[in-house]
Amino acid sequence: MKIRKGDQVKVISGKSRGKTSKILAVIPDKHKVIVEKVNIVKKHRKQTGNQKDPGGILEVEAPIDISNVMVICPSCNEPTRVGYKFVEKKKLRVCKNCKHVLD
C-alpha cells in the first residue's frame, strides 16, 4: 500500500476536504483509512453493567476511502503522489515531486 499508519495526509475530497492529519489505521481489504479528527460520526452506545464503560453518544472517526487522501511529503510539505524505488533489494516509497524517500 502506498499509504501507511502514521503518515501525514491531506483530505482531497468529501466533507472534510482540506484538513491535514495523521493516519490512525489502514484497512487494506476495503481500501479505507481512518484519519485522526476527520469524518467524525456520532455513535450511540448502550451502557453495560461495568461502571468503567458508560454509555452515551460518542464521537468517533469513521473510515474514508483511500482515494480521498494524499500523502504529504516531509521535505517539500506538499500533497504528493507516491512512487516506488528499489535500493539494495528494498522497495522504498518516494515523493513524485521532489524524489525524497518517505520511508
For 54-64, the pLDDT digits (tens) are 789 999 999 99
Which helix (H) or strand (E) is 25 found in, with range? strand 20-27
**Distance (Å, whole) CA 24 – CA 46:** 25
pTM score: 0.86
Is there a single domain that holds both residue 64 and residue 89? no
Q: Is pLDDT at 12 greater than 80 in this prediction? A: yes
Q: Give the residue-averaged pLDDT of 15-19.
A: 94
Q: Give the residue-averaged pLDDT of 2-29.
A: 95
CB atoms within 10 A of CB 30: 10
Is there a single domain that holds both residue 79 and residue 33? no
Q: What is the CATH number of the domain that holds 67?
A: 2.30.30.30
Is there a single domain that holds both residue 89 and residue 66? no
